[in-house]
A and B are shown apart, each in its own frame.
Chain A
Amino acid sequence: MTTTFDEDAELRELLAPLARVQPAMRRPQRRRRLVIVVSVVFALLAVGGIAAADGVGPFAGIGAASHPPTPGDALDSAIKEEIARINGHGSFGPTGGLIADSARLVSQLDSGRRIYVIATTTDELCVLIQERPGMSEGSAIGCGDPLSQAQPTTEETMRVNQQTPPLSFGVARDDVASISFRAGGEEKTVPVVDNVWAYEGESNILGSITIHFRDGTETTISH
């Protein structure tokens, strides 16, 4: 008969590899915190406001990604390596595996950051932001349902460290012209270019944004 003592010993043995992990250490002088907050914006559309999304699949409604793969779309080996690791670990939760070869470069920000869209094996849309070419460090990725009339843009805010302002960005449908929000006490509007909008600085983007559609309609989303 197995006793609690036996089970305790067995469990300690089972957990032993975990006991060997190196401890985290505080880095009060140089925190490399990467915070990425990702949410899908659920837009309530006016009746008859928006045309149906073009096509189907993870990139539906994203014109900048609707093209055959080009050499410029290819991910760096560092990113591909990370994707292989993610797929190998199954650490992407219920999302299917990332399909590296499906990547499409949709925009490169003035800062040099590249924004890609990537499909998963379960036809989800992933948005990858690569901090620096050739490196995976500092990059981040979020995935969710493909964009739709109800979800016209992704919205992501990331802060690489405490010394730099947060970067908010999103991939929006073709029918979205711009995004506006409060920042520094005033209304800011950023255009959607090649399906991407971005703003660097403190803002209320996580609190509320207004989506301006090309047909002149708009909707304000409060989170």
Chain B
Amino acid sequence: VSADSGPTTKALARTVSAEMGLTDCRTDVEALFRQMEPVLGRFLVQFVRDRQLAEDLLQDTFHDALHAGSGLEQASCPEAWLFGMARNRALAALRRRRRFEAALHRLTFRRSAEREEDELIVVRNLLEQTLGAEDRSLVILRYLHDFDATELAQMTGLSADAVRQRLSRARKRLLAAAADGSEPPHTRRDDDDDL
């Protein structure tokens, strides 16, 4: 991971854990969210691509976290708990978008000032053309945010072994597609219904 990508989730999580000495649950959630907001925000942009949508999803995640009752107290890994909420929000948004697109293709103009670097476009297109949204989220959370299989299992409800298998398949498909320069559309597998 590039040095200018900011602190990783794990590094930040350690900081959060060390600083979390608050007793009020709501305040705990707010403190956790405040600390995690940059990496959560980055994850959402990486995953859904659309920055406006990512900003809304971040706000929605904050709302979900505040209203999750004792969820944080019961979570064995607070960071995974929060990322799991963001991931679920993002997946739901992507599913909604896909449903609309199935009937009538939809596109919302993004701010014109927002320009993607060429290499970023290549990577995003590779991810989107090769993997379904579920696997894409696993790859991003594993390789860009350093969550391990156990933590990803907590987020997804899969077993850790199932997470490892999916990651292994996804990794091989991505590397093969990258080596080929492109991935034929029919090789994309949409695993959204598996979870």
Cα–Cα, bound, A193→B58 (Å):
40
Q: Does A64 count as interface, using CB distance less than 8 angstroms?
A: no
We find that the number of chain B residues with CB closer than 8 angstroms to chain A is 54
Over the window 115-151 of chain B, the binary record of Cβ atoms lying under 8 Å from chain A Cβ atoms (1 yes, 0 no) is: 0010111111111000000000001100110000000
Give A86 to B44 CA distance when docked, in angstroms: 21
Judged by a CB distance under 8 angstroms, whether A67 is at the interface is no
Which residue of chain A lies nearest to B118 when distances are taken between CB atoms in the complex? A17
Q: Which residue of B lies closest to A139 (CB)?
A: B109
In the complex, what distance in Å separates the CA atom of A93 from the CA atom of B104? 11
**Main SS of chain B's interface residues?**
helix
The residues in A between 142 and 188 inclusive whose CB is less than 8 angstroms from any CB of B are 142-145, 154
A20:B2 contact, CB within 8 angstroms: yes
| Closest chain B residue, CB of each to CB of A6 | B175
Query: In the complex, are the beta carbons of A82 and B123 less than 8 A apart?
Result: no
Q: Would you call A26 and B171 a contact (CB within 8 A)?
A: no
Contact assessment for B121 and A11 in the assembled complex, using a CB-CB cutoff below 8 Å? no
Instruction: Say whether A18 contacts B144, CB under 8 Å.
Output: yes
A31–B63 Cα gap in the complex (Å)?
14
A24 with B174: CB separation less than 8 A? no
Interface size on A, residues (CB 8 A): 53
Q: A93: shortest Cβ distance to chain B, in Å?
A: 5
A10 and B175 contacting across the interface, CB-CB below 8 Å? yes
Against A, the Cβ 8 Å flags (1 = close, 0 = not) of B163-187 are 0000010011011001000000000
Task: Report if B26 contacts A (CB, 8 A).
Answer: no
Q: What distance in Å separates the Cβ of A63 from its nearest Cβ neighbour in chain B?
A: 21
Measured CB to CB, the nearest residue on chain B to A144 is B104
Partner of A21, one of B52, B57, B120, B178: B120
Q: Which of A37-45, A54-62, A108-116, A214-222 contacts B (4 or more CB under 8 A)?
A: A37-45
Known: A20-B4, A92-B107. 18 other contacts (CB 8 A): A4-B168, A18-B140, A19-B2, A21-B45, A23-B38, A23-B41, A23-B42, A24-B55, A25-B58, A26-B58, A27-B55, A31-B56, A31-B59, A39-B103, A93-B101, A138-B109, A140-B108, A142-B106
Interface residues, chain A, CB within 8 Å of chain B? 4, 7-8, 10-12, 14-28, 31-34, 36-40, 78, 81-82, 86, 89-95, 124, 136-145, 154
